[in-house]
Amino acid sequence: MSTPSFAPALFQSFEEKSDPSHVAPRLAALRQAMKQAGVDAFLIPRADAHRGESVPASEARLAYVTGFTGSAGMAMVTADKAHLFIDSRYTLQAPAQTDTNLVEVHEVPSMSFDLKPYVPAGAVLAYDPWLHTPGSVRDMETQLRGHAKIVSHANLVDSVWEDRPAPPVSTIEFLGHNRAGKTAADKIAEIQASLKADGADAAVLTLPESICWLFNMRGRDVPNTPFVLGFATAPAEGSPLLYLDPAKITPELKNALSGIADVAASTDLPGALEALGKDGKSVLVDPHSAPMAVADTLTKAGARLVDKRDPVLLPKSRKNDAELAGMREAHKLDGVALAKFLHWFDSEAPKGQLTEIGIVTALEAFRREEESCIDASFDTISGAGPNGAIVHYRVTTKTDRTLKAGEIMLVDSGAQYLSGTTDITRTLSTGSATAEQKDRYTRVLKGMIAISMARFPRGTSGAQIDVLARQFLWADGVTYNHGTGHGVGAFLGVHEGPIGISSRYPLPLEVGNVISNEPGYYKAGEYGIRIENLIVVQECAGYPGYLDFETITLAPIDTRLIALELLTAAERDWLNAFHARVWTEIGPLVSGDVKAWLEQATKAI
Amino acid sequence: MSTPSFAPALFQSFEEKSDPSHVAPRLAALRQAMKQAGVDAFLIPRADAHRGESVPASEARLAYVTGFTGSAGMAMVTADKAHLFIDSRYTLQAPAQTDTNLVEVHEVPSMSFDLKPYVPAGAVLAYDPWLHTPGSVRDMETQLRGHAKIVSHANLVDSVWEDRPAPPVSTIEFLGHNRAGKTAADKIAEIQASLKADGADAAVLTLPESICWLFNMRGRDVPNTPFVLGFATAPAEGSPLLYLDPAKITPELKNALSGIADVAASTDLPGALEALGKDGKSVLVDPHSAPMAVADTLTKAGARLVDKRDPVLLPKSRKNDAELAGMREAHKLDGVALAKFLHWFDSEAPKGQLTEIGIVTALEAFRREEESCIDASFDTISGAGPNGAIVHYRVTTKTDRTLKAGEIMLVDSGAQYLSGTTDITRTLSTGSATAEQKDRYTRVLKGMIAISMARFPRGTSGAQIDVLARQFLWADGVTYNHGTGHGVGAFLGVHEGPIGISSRYPLPLEVGNVISNEPGYYKAGEYGIRIENLIVVQECAGYPGYLDFETITLAPIDTRLIALELLTAAERDWLNAFHARVWTEIGPLVSGDVKAWLEQATKAI
C-alpha cells in the first residue's frame, strides 16, 4: 500500500481485538456466580484500583465481559439484563464491540450518572470496593436510597475469569537529579509539611502518577504511560512505605530507595491500614481517586479520614526547572520527528494513496528514529476527511480510510521520550480547501493564538480563560464539545489533573503547569479541525503579579488552510514568531529535503 | 455653592450619622447582658432575617453597637474585646465610624472567614438564629469544633437597645398584569411544580425579593428597594400563606390576595412551621438565605429539610415580556434624566466649582422631574478625581470634594421607577486627560463592548464570559477587583442573584436575565474609571442555540476619553450604533440645549 518503506508500528495496533461472541458465555458464568453470592446486580467499571486511563490486561474486566475496550465506561449486570454505560466518544465503538442482543448500550454524560433507573427495585447491588472510590459509592448510595441495597463484595468477574492474564511486572527505572530536579527525600518532606497543615497523620497514595513522581521512579506496567502500579503510605513524620508486587522489588529498587522509603508487598497494605486505624490516626484519603476498600479498612479499624485531594497532585503539576528542561528537550526531539513526518505527508498526500494506518505507522517510524522515544503517549488519532470529525477516533483495520486528495487530515499524537511527554495535533491540507474549511480553521487558530498570547493575573483559573479559545467560533454560532486544554505530565501521563483549561478546572494556574492548548471544530460526516500545542505557565516578564504561557511544541502549523483576512496583525505576528522559532530550533537538526521543506513551512505569512 | 438651583436631595443624605462616642456605653450594656446570660461572645451581623442589602433602622444592630453603617459586616463582642469584620470596601469607612480604642477592625475577604482565631478557647459563643443561615452556622461549627461552643440565643443587643426605632410599616402596592406580566396564581403554580420536582411538600420563603415577586406586590419597608418585609410558606399543593406585620395587612392587600394566598401575622410563623414538622413534611429551606431559626423550628418539630436554593430566585431572574418592557421604559426615562444631567455637567464642570454632593443632588433632581421615579436604587457613587478610585465610595459632608477641571469624574447611580430599576455608571471628562487615563478608559470600554457584542451557546455561564471584559486590561498587566456584572431586578433589588458575570456565577445565563456590564479600572489616589450599561440575555437571531445581549441603557458614553487607535473597526461600529440608538430613542424626548448637546454627544466617531 502507501507506506511500504516503514516497519510495522510497535506502539499501536490496529486490530479489532473484541469478539462479541464471547459475551454470551461470560455473562452466563457471571450470572451463575451472582446467584451463588446472593447478588442481584453487579457493577463492572473500566477502572482498576489505580484509576489510570490505561489498565493492564489483567484488569480489563469490562472488556473481558462486554468486549468494549474504550478508556472509560461501566457495565451493570442483573439476572436478566446487562447495561453498558459509555460516553459520547464511544457511541459508535461500543455497539460494534459488544453483543447488542445481550447488552443494552447507554450513552451517559459522565460516569457519575444516576444509576437508579437501571437498578431493579429492592435489588442487592454489589461492587468491588477496590474499583470504586468513596465519592462514587457515596453518590450511588444517595441515588439508590430507599430503592436498592448497595453492598461491597469480592469481585465476581475475577471468580469466573478463564485464562486471566498475569499482572504486569515491569522493570523500575529511577530518575536521577538531572531529570527529576528534586530528590525523593525533598519531595517527601514537602508532602509531609502539607499533611501536617491538613491535620493528617498520614496519607494513603493510590495513584501511580503520584507514586512515580514522589519516589522518582518510572515503570512499564501499562501501555503509553511509564507507570509502576502500586500503593504507598506516607506518614506526616518518618519514612513512607511503598507496597509493590514483590517481583518488582529489584535489588536496584531496594538500593535506590534505601534511606528514603521502605518497601513491602502489596499484600501487606491492608494490615498496614488496620495498624493506622488501631492507632487512631487521621489519614488523608482522596475520596475521588482512592479505592473504597482503603477508606473502609481504615475506618473499620478506627482511623479518622481526612477527605482531601491526593497531596501529590498539585506539587506534581508545578514542574520544576529540570522537568521543564526535559519537556523542552522532548519537544525538540518530537519537532524533528514531526518535520520529517510533515514533509513526507506533503509529498505523499497529493497522490491520494495514504491510509490512516499508513500515516500512524509513518509517524511512529519517524519518532522511533530517536532511540529515547520509548512509546506513544496515546494511540494516534489519525482521521482522514469525515473521520477527523470523530473527536477520539482510533483507526482499526476495519475503519481504515484512504485519504483523498483535497480532504483535510487531522493527526493528534504524542510520544514518551525519556526526557518528557509530548502531545500535538496538526490539521493538514492535501490540496484545495473550501472557504468554509478555511474560515473554521482560522477561527480555531485564532482561539489557539488567543490562549498562547494570554496574560492574566496570578490566581486566574483555566476555567476563566477557556472562552478566549472559543470566542471566534462562538461569534459564528459554532463551538467544540471538549475542553480547551488538559494538564500533561513530565515523562508521565499525557492527561493529568488537577489543572487544565475548561469550565471543569477551577483551580488557579500556577508557574510550571504544562497544559495542552487545543481548540477544534468538527463537522460531522465532513471534516475535523484541531490545532494543539503544549504551553507552560510562567511569570510574565515586566508585569509583576501576572502570568503568561511559553509554547514548547515546535512543529509548523499548516498556513495553507488560513483565511488571512481573518487574522489581526497581532495574531499574524504571533504565528510568524512561532514559525521563526521552529525554524531556529529544528532547522539545524534536519537536513536535505526535510530542511528545505521546513524552511518553506515556517516562512512568515 | 455649585448647585444652588436644585432642591436638596431626598433620596440620599450626606450626613455622617455615626458617633463613635456611643460605642463605649453600648458595649458596656451588651457585656452586662452577656454576663447575665452566661455568654462569653456574641455575634452581631449586619443582616436582618431577610438578608437584604438595606435593613430598616429597627434592624441596624451593627450600627447601633459599633457605629459602622456599611452594607455588610459583622461584629463579635467578648468580655474584653470587640472585633468588627468588614470587607475591602469599608477599609476607610469602618475605622472612621467606630471607636477604634474599643473595637478592633479586621478586613476579611468575605463574611465566611474563619472565626476561630478570634474566639477564646472554651468560650460559649452565642448567635441570634434569626440573623444567621443554616449554611453560615454549619461553617462556624466546623471552624470551632473542639475549640468553642456555639449556641443559639435570643438577641442580646435587642435586650439593651434604648430607643429602638419601630419596625417599618409601608403601604403595599399591587402590580397589575401589565407590569407583572404573569398573575401571582400562575407564578405560584410554577413554584409548586418545582417543589414537587424537588420532592418538597412545602417551601418557606424568607427573602423579600422572592415574596414581592411571587405575590406581585411592592412596599417601602427599606430604602432604595421596594421591599415588603415578611415571610411566606408555599405548600406544593393548596394556598400559600403570607406572614406580615398585621399593620401592613390593608383591606386592599386582603382583597388583592383573595383566592391566591391567605395572610397571617408574622407572629404566627413559628406555629405554622411547627405544624409542618408535626405532619412530618419535607420542607424546602434555602440554607444560604433562610434564618437558622426557621430550619431549627422545622427540624425540632419533625420536618425533613430539603436543602435547595429558594425556588423563586431562578424564575424571577428570567424576566418576562412585560417586565422587560417595563425595564426598557424605565431606561428611557432614565436616559432623559441622564441627558439633562450630562449636559448640565458638561457646562458646569469646566468652571471647577462642582462638588460631589452637588453632582448627586443635581442628578437626583433631574430624575425626580419624572414623577414615576420613586427612589434611588442605591446611594449614588459620586467620585471626583482620586475619590473615583474608591470602588464603593459614598460621599458625606466630611468627605465631599470639589471637582477640579481636568479631573476625571465617576458617577454610578440608579433609580427605582414604577416601571423598573436602573443602574448606570459613566466616567466623565472635565477637559484634558492624560494618555494613561485614555488608554485605561479605552481598555475598560473595549471590555464592556466585548460583553455587549458576545454571542455564546445556551448553557454558558456568566463565569465563563467574564474574561472577555478583562482581557484588554490583563494584556497591560492590570485588572479590577470586582465582578463584571450582577443581576438586576424588575422594580426590585438593584443587586439580585443568582446570575451575574464573574467567577462567582456558575449558573447558565438564560433568556430574560437582566445584568449589569461594568468593567472598571482604579488607580488608588489618582482616578477611577467604570462604564456600566444594563444588558438583557436574548435569543441570538440567525444563530440557533446561541444567545446574546440587548443593551437597554440609553445614555451617551463619553467619547472624549477614548484613545481611538485602540479601538477595532467592530468596536467603533458598536459604539456608533449604540449612540445612534440613544439619539433615536432619547432625542425626541429632550429639547433645546439638552437636545443640541445630545446630538453632539451621540455623533459617530
Give the tens place of pLDDT for each residue, B79-102: 999 999 999 888 888 999 999 999
Query: Which residues of chain B does A454 touch, with a Cβ-Cβ cutoff of 8 Å?
Result: 471, 474
CA torsion through residues A89, A92, A98, A101, sign: positive
- Has residue B585 got a pLDDT over 70? yes
Quote the cell numbers at residue B327.
425595564
Dihedrals φ, ψ of A115, to 5°? -75, -25
- Has residue A124 got a pLDDT over 90? yes
Region B104-131: what's the mean pLDDT? 95
Distance set, CA B84 to CA B39, B107, B519 (Å): 18, 8, 30
Q: Which of B464, B468, B477 is the closest to A455 by Cβ?
A: B477
Residues with Cβ within 8 Å of A269's Cβ and at least 6 positions away in sequence, in order, are A231, A233, A243, A294
* Residue labelled with grid coordinates 436510597: A145
Q: Is A467 on the interface with B (CB under 8 A)?
A: yes
Q: Contact B477/A540, CB-based, under 8 Å?
A: yes
Distance set, CA A527 to CA A274, A414, A429, B346, B483 (Å): 56, 21, 11, 57, 39
Q: What pLDDT does B2 receive? A: 45
Query: Looking at chain A from residue 9 to 68, which residues have their Cβ under 8 Å from any Cβ of chain B?
Result: none
- Has residue A42 got a pLDDT over 50? yes
Q: Contact B464/A461, CB-based, under 8 Å?
A: no
Q: Which of A464, A540, A542 is the closest to B503 by Cβ?
A: A464
Query: Which residues of chain A does B474 touch, with a Cβ-Cβ cutoff of 8 Å?
Result: 454-457, 546
Q: What pLDDT does B53 receive? A: 87
Q: Is B109 on the interface with A (CB under 8 A)?
A: no
Phi-psi region of A406 (alpha: psi -120 to 50; beta: other; left: phi over 0): left
Q: Quick check: helix, strand or coil at residue B182?
A: coil
Region A358-373: what's the mean pLDDT? 97
Query: Looking at chain B from residue 486 to 515, which residues have their Cβ under 8 Å from any Cβ of chain A?
Result: 503, 506
Q: How far apart are CA B76 and CA B40, in angstroms?
A: 10
Dihedrals φ, ψ of A467, to 5°? -65, -25
Q: What pLDDT does A441 receive? A: 98
Region B9-20: what's the mean pLDDT? 87
Which chain A residue lies closest to B479 (C-alpha atoms)?
Answer: A457
- Has residue B494 got a pLDDT over 70? yes
pLDDT per residue over B411-439, tens digit each? 999 999 999 999 999 999 998 899 999 99
Q: How far is B463 from chain A (nearest CA, A)?
A: 7
Q: Is A544 on the interface with B (CB under 8 A)?
A: yes
Radius of gyration over alpha carbons of chain B, in Å? 25
Which chain A residue lies closest to B568 (C-alpha atoms)?
Answer: A568
Q: What pLDDT does B4 receive? A: 47
Distance set, CA B586 to CA A32, B332, B372, B418, B580 (Å): 80, 7, 17, 19, 10
Quote the cell numbers at residue A345.
505527508
> Percent of chain A, pLDDT > 90?
88
Q: Is B215 on the interface with A (CB under 8 A)?
A: no
Residue B496: enclosing H or E segment and its boundaries? Answer: strand B496-501
Q: Is B463 on the interface with A (CB under 8 A)?
A: yes
Q: Contact B540/A464, CB-based, under 8 Å?
A: no
Q: How far is A582 from chain B (nearest CA, A)?
A: 25
Q: How far apart are CA A344 and CA B465, in angstroms?
A: 42
- Has residue B193 got a pLDDT over 60? yes
Q: Which of B465, B506, B546 is the closest to A467 by Cβ?
A: B465
- Has residue A1 got a pLDDT over 60? no
Quote the cell numbers at residue B568.
477595532
Q: Is A464 on the interface with B (CB under 8 A)?
A: yes
Question: Please, which pLDDT band fits residue B256 given cuts at 50, 70 and 90?
Answer: confident
Region A4-23: what's the mean pLDDT? 85
pTM above 0.90, yes or no: yes
Q: Contact B540/A465, CB-based, under 8 Å?
A: no
pLDDT per residue over A476-500, tens digit each? 999 999 999 999 999 999 999 999 9
Q: What pLDDT does A81 receive? A: 96
Report the relative pairing of strands B124-127 and B149-152 from DSSP bridges. parallel
Least reliable range by pLDDT among A341-345, A531-535, B322-326, B402-406: B402-406
- Has residue A284 got a pLDDT over 70? yes
Quote the cell numbers at residue A236.
506526616
pLDDT per residue over A92-104, tens digit each? 889 989 999 999 9
Question: Please, which pLDDT band fits residue A3 given cuts at 50, 70 and 90?
Answer: very low
Q: What pLDDT does A454 receive? A: 98
Quote the cell numbers at residue B284.
424546602
| CB neighbour burial string for A48-74, b if at least 16 within 10 angstroms, e if fewer | bbbbbbbbbebbbbbbbbbbbbbbbbb
What are the residue ranges of helices labelled H in A198-311?
208-214, 251-257, 269-278, 292-301
Q: Which of A467, A474, A506 is the closest to B467 by Cβ?
A: A467
Q: How far apart are CA B389 and CA B533, in angstroms?
A: 19
- Has residue B3 got a pLDDT over 50? no
Asked if the peptide bond before residue A4 counts as cis, ω within 30 degrees of 0, the response is no
pLDDT per residue over A399-450, tens digit each? 999 999 899 999 999 999 999 999 999 999 998 899 999 999 999 999 999 9
Q: Which of B463, B468, B545 is the closest to A463 by Cβ?
A: B463
Q: Contact B477/A544, CB-based, under 8 Å?
A: yes
Residue B305: enclosing H or E segment and its boundaries? Answer: strand B304-306
Q: What pLDDT does B252 receive? A: 84
Q: What pLDDT does B220 receive? A: 93
Query: Which residues of chain A does B461 touch, with a Cβ-Cβ cutoff of 8 Å?
Result: 503
ipTM of predicted assembly, 2 dp = 0.89
Question: Residue A444: which of A338, A575, A544, A307 has the closest Cα?
Answer: A575
> Are A320 and A299 within 8 A, CB to CB?
no
Region A99-110: what's the mean pLDDT? 95
Q: Is A459 on the interface with B (CB under 8 A)?
A: no
Is the pLDDT higher at B556 or at A172? B556
Return the residue in A304, A451, A456 with the most chain B beta carbons within 10 A, the one to mutate for interface testing: A456
Q: Is B280 on the interface with A (CB under 8 A)?
A: no
- Has residue A190 got a pLDDT over 70? yes
Q: Is B455 on the interface with A (CB under 8 A)?
A: yes
Supply the mean pLDDT for chain B. Answer: 95
- Has residue A2 got a pLDDT over 60? no
> Percent of chain A, pLDDT > 70?
99
Q: What pLDDT does B129 receive? A: 98
Distance set, CA B357 to CA A234, B14, B416, B552 (Å): 64, 8, 20, 27
Q: Which of A464, A465, A477 is the closest to B546 by Cβ?
A: A477
Region B58-63: what's the mean pLDDT? 96
Supply the mean pLDDT for chain A. Answer: 95
Dihedrals φ, ψ of B125, to 5°? -100, 125
Q: Contact B475/A455, CB-based, under 8 Å?
A: yes
- Has residue B499 got a pLDDT over 90? yes
- Has residue B557 got a pLDDT over 90? yes
